[in-house]
Structure 1
Amino acid sequence: MTEVLELRQYTLHPGKRDVLIDLFDRQLVEPQEAAGMRIHGQFRDIDDEDRFVWLRGFPDLATRAEALAAFYDGPVWRAHREAANATMIDSDDVLLLRPAAEDTGFDLPATRPDAEPSALVTVTLYHLPPRAGDEFAELFVREVRPLLADLGAPPLACLRTEPSENDYPALPVRTGENVFAWVAAYADHDAHLEHIRKLGRSTRWTHDLLPLLTKHLARGPEQLHLAPTARSRLR
């Protein structure tokens, strides 16, 4: 089985992010997991106070539609959907992803925390041309991942677009996208800046690997800077 993941980015009404996070963390985490999903992490977007970002996974594509139907047709969502939807302007910015290689999915603790962390999570997105990406993914996993680990930011996951059709159309996903994503966590903002400085001083990165990666890209990379909520596993 190959895990399928959703990277979900919501645009919210001004001042409503903490309302949604409180509802999400208290009422919506365990019921989704009981329906067959795994909530990997939920975050405040540090660069946009009206953005909420979260990641959830499914054992495989075949079980995704079943799990979504079980939750969204069930009593918990029915009880809370009006309050949740009232916080949102847009919830359709969703990327459907899968691990880029056999050992590049998330391996997160089974116990869910319940305390606000002082941590930073980044999601770096590389946008690739249609139907490309095998060579990029192989290069990143084989060469870039160990270098990032050596420089203090071991990727917690390396992911790429799941090309299968969305089998639960009630929840749209972005179509025509082809991305590679890697996820990292840092103790704080300063630790992230120190990692960037180390990358800049690495000739292996600047002279060898970065040019090889860049030649594959359809446009410039994008990086999300995320603050985990109190109950996010990913932190």
Structure 2
Amino acid sequence: MSSKNPEIVELRQYTLRPQQRDALIDLFDREFVESQEAEGMSVMGQFRDLDDPDRFVWLRGFADMASRARGLQGFYGGPIWAAHRDAANATMIDSDDVLLLRPAWDGAGLAHDPARRGGHEANKAPPGLVDVTVFSLNDVASQALLDFCRERMTSVLRQAGALTQGWYVTEHSPNNFPRLPVREGENVLVGVTVFEDTIDENWQRDLAPALSQWLKKPPRSMKLVPTTRSAIHA
């Protein structure tokens, strides 16, 4: 599986100290993109949360669980992280809100192209907004739910102006790099949707009655702006 279509994806949400997000993003985009990809991982997208000035969200992809273990060991045991970890950790209150995911069906993952990523000299954020919605489920995602997602939700989002979409469910393999915790004991469906300039939030309201049978609690959506070097953008 190519790095453009990872089979394992981490959705990572960091709670940062006040006024530290730009400092972390500057450091991340400068030091932690190519250095992670050199270890076989894919830095898919990095984002600012529009509704929370102290939240940084990013997606990291892997070809499979075995390459995840190798890549994380290589990066977090390597010189780049050693040189910059203190500065990165100083910006963070919590970095443990991590969902381990896989594409919800064959081809459901959000394809991304590293060639679309801005270079180190880029000083302007790329276009587009990204909606990441986490649906907490009562149980493992059923075929009925996935069919509803494929046949109904994706269509409603296209009508709402979505340019591209990716759909993921919980990967239940044991965390094979325990140094970095992941959320365990829950089932989720996660939608990642790219819009050109505005996010039409009515889609959830329109679908809520039909979705409710599968949901443990109301969905949680994040409205995100790509950073300068995010490979996911409009």
TM-score with structure 1 length normalisation? 0.89
Paired with 1:30 and 1:108, the residues of 2 have a C-alpha distance of 15
Q: Give SS of 2:114's match.
A: coil
Gaps of 5+ in 2: none
Alignment of structure 1 residues 27-46 onto 2, 5 Å: 27-46=31-50
Aligned to 2:106: 102
Q: Deviations over 1:106-135 (max 9, x none)?
A: 211231223312421110111101334332
CA contact (8 A) 2:47 2:224 kept: yes
Higher helix share: 1
Residue-by-residue CA offset, 1:9-47 (whole Å, 9 max, x unaligned): 001111111110000000110000010100110011111
In the alignment, does 2:79 pair up with 1:70? Answer: no
The aligned counterpart of 1:92 is 96
- Rounded to whole Å, the distance in 1 between the matches of 2:64 and 2:142 is 21
Cα distance in structure 2, aligned partners of 1:108 and 1:174: 25
**Uncovered stretches (5+) of structure 1, i.e. residues with no partner:** none
Quote how far apart the aligned CAs of 1:139 are: 1.6
Aligned equivalent of 2:151, options 129, 142, 158: 142
- Output the CA distance in 2 between the equivalents of 1:232 and 1:14: 22
The amino acid across from 1:73 in the alignment is G
Q: Report the TM-score when normalising by structure 2.
A: 0.89
C-alpha distance in 2 between matches for 1:33 and 1:125: 26
After superposition, the C-alpha distances for 1:33-63 in whole angstroms (9 at most, x for unaligned) are 0101001100111111111110010001121
- Secondary structure of the 1:67 match is helix
User: Compared with structure 1, are the counterparts of its residues 132 and 98 closer, same or farther at alpha carbon in structure 2 (3 Å cutoff)?
Assistant: closer
Structure 1 residue 71: deviation in Å? 0.4
**Runs of 4+ in structure 1 over 6 Å off:** none
Q: Which amino acid aligns with 2:89?
A: N
The 1-side partners of 2:195 and 2:70 are apart by: 35
Asked if the contact 1:130–1:176 (Cα under 8 Å) also holds between the matched residues in 2, the reply is no
CA–CA distance in 2 between the matches of 1:47 and 1:146? 26
Deviation at 1:151, TM superposition (A): 3.4
**Residues 1-235 of structure 1 correspond to what in structure 2 (within 5 A)?**
3-111=7-115, 112-113=117-118, 114=122, 115-188=124-197, 191-192=198-199, 195-196=200-201, 199=203, 206=206, 210-235=208-233
